[in-house]
Amino acid sequence: MNPVYDFSPGDHATMVGDYIRLEAYHQAIQNQVKPEMVVAEIGTGTGILSAYAAAYTQAPVFAIEYYDATADLAEAMFKAAKLSQVKVMRGESYGITLSPQPDLLVTETIGALGPEEHIVELCHDFKKRHPHLKSIIPSRLKVMAEPIQSARVKELEGMFHDYFATASFGTFDYQAIRPVLTRAYASEIRFNSLKGSIAVGPKTVLADYALGDTEKSAFSTVVDLTEIKELDAVHLFFEATLDQDVLLSTHHTQPETHWGHAYVVKTEGCQKLRVSYSGDYKSLQVRWEI
């Protein structure tokens, strides 16, 4: 086996332990895979989604994995499970052309807010080079925003300031830079449970990708909060359409997944939040505007 740094057991345990995610993908795969359908997966990891596909087809299943050590583990799993029709393909999907061409592509290269693992570019490139491809799981990915009120958000912000207040002593008082700390706190995307939050305004679609057809993931969209009088944060989430009746979402009202809940704390004096993604980095950028 290759060096252990090629495989993160903690990350993979988190993903395979995400029952909501696995059940949604399993249902979509079961709905779409037919007995003679050739299937490809990008980012197979330890192979569970390809194993799902192999349960419903006798045709080849191609499990593409970039990391060698992880690919070794996937091969060991398929061998132990006697899934001989699954073939592990090592390397980036950009450099791999499959034969026979797949009918279906499955991928869970979804970042915390959707596009950060380059799912849009991967799917577009793969479909362009495999014209026989009929469908992709997920077929659509939306990045969205919603203004909310949340007791938990307010509690966490209070704790942030309490840490500085507790460290203050004598004339060395962090209260002197509290406005700067407040603005800094509201300039980052944060992750915590938003259970119990209340929507106080409409949802805004920040980006809408038809996977396989949309070429670029970059976007820059403004969320206008001018009409929203009482809000604590803007909740950021994705919706992935896995099948006609199977939607995987990180919205705070849906069962919580390993991606968690994302939000940006409201800052005083600003009524607009710009959310941007360049396509080159692993994270979205946010900026409050007047």
Give me the domains of the chain, ranges plus CATH numbers. 4-108 (3.40.50.150), 142-289 (2.70.160.11)
pTM value is 0.95
pLDDT given at position 6: 64
Query: Over the chain (290 residues), what is each successive 10-residue block's mean pLDDT?
Result: 60 92 99 98 98 99 96 97 98 98 98 97 99 99 99 98 98 98 98 98 99 98 96 99 98 97 97 96 92
Which residues fall within 8 angstroms of residue 8, CB to CB, at 6 or more apart?
Answer: none
